[in-house]
Amino acid sequence: MSNFHYDLAGCAFDFAPALIHVAFLSCSGDHFVSVPECLPFTGEWGENNSAYFMDEDIHPVPTGIHMIYLSIIEKRFYIVNSKLPVEKLDSLLNNQDTNTGLPLYGKILVGMAPYGLSVLWLSGEKKQTLVDIFHGKIINVDPEQFIPDNPTASIDSICDFYINTNDAASAYLKVNGLPAKDLFDRYMQQFCYRYLVMFERWDEDDEWWVKPELVEEGQPIDGMPLPEFDFIEEALWDGTHDKLHDGGLLNYHMAGKPKKLAIQWHIKKSQYTTYLWFEDEAIRSAFECFYGTHRDTKVDFIIRIDAEKKKYELALYRYGLKEPVVIGEDAYQMIVFKNKFEHYRSENYDLPRGAWIW
């Protein structure tokens, strides 16, 4: 197998920070690459929370992951010792950006969550891919080994310090207590779906969507020009993202639940871009209720657009249903720009300026 240049970094949830005791990827022979420390790891799940070494060295494909980390809100250590899917990693690391010819992935990202859930992603500017998920076991670590410079410190006092200095963690624990044990596995659930962007007409009298009636040469009978789809981008709650614009998101694939979407289209010379942000619990509930236990069922994630009437609707549909199941507007926030000027925002939109830059 080939050698590759890749950087290594770690991450954890903002409300569930983590500290590493030891964390590295093993490769063939005696080669290994360490995860740089962060005090603590905290931030967006699936986003680099730590510094990472930007060296010019090339490394073999990693074959194993070895970690002991402290889940701060639980005050527990977990150990992860697992083999990695070497052939899958080798194949992914060989992927290139079709536009630049450069490697698609340049970083390996390790995620640490409560209850031993650990995740490995391959990360690049345009795409981040889930490689594997691990479940560590509880392990006891002597405080003197964890912080040899301060042998009198207890694990409880260390965790209390980081909880009290982390607004997200302290606020979450005050309101919710410890998270449900299956919460982080639910973040990583995969579902089979594709995005189906539909430019239709909103009938205000019947309060329903209708397809434009076309005459010869595909022109609508009402004389209104037809929108033309440009691209869709996504960031998901499982920590992955896709900005490739290669049409892959329009085909059925296994993926996490949407966290952020960007959709661009144009009508003649006018360019439209809509950005959507999905509320964690609401979109999780919508997906879990719709799919049930059959997460491999092929589903259309429908995005209906009538930019002229400023009407938008999201829905889920699978074969056999009479009508799509509409996703409630409380599950997401939306803003639309026309030629870079604000054109529409949902009533519940309250995000800061520039939130659409991601």
The CA angle 288-92-115, to the nearest 5 degrees, is: 45
β-strand pairing of 332-338 with 270-278: antiparallel
Q: Which residues of the chain have pLDDT under 70?
A: 1, 50-56, 213-223
What the block records as the tokens of 128 is 């981040």
Nearest to 197 by CA among 298, 302, 267, 278: 302
* pLDDT in the model for residue 51: 57
In angstroms, the first-to-last Cα distance of the chain is 34
Residue type present at position 275: Y
The total number of residues shown for the chain amounts to 358
* pLDDT in the model for residue 173: 98
Per-residue model confidence as pLDDT tens digits over 63-107:
999 999 999 999 999 999 999 999 999 999 999 998 888 999 999
* pLDDT in the model for residue 253: 97
* Contact indicator for 255, 190 with CB cutoff of 8 Å: yes
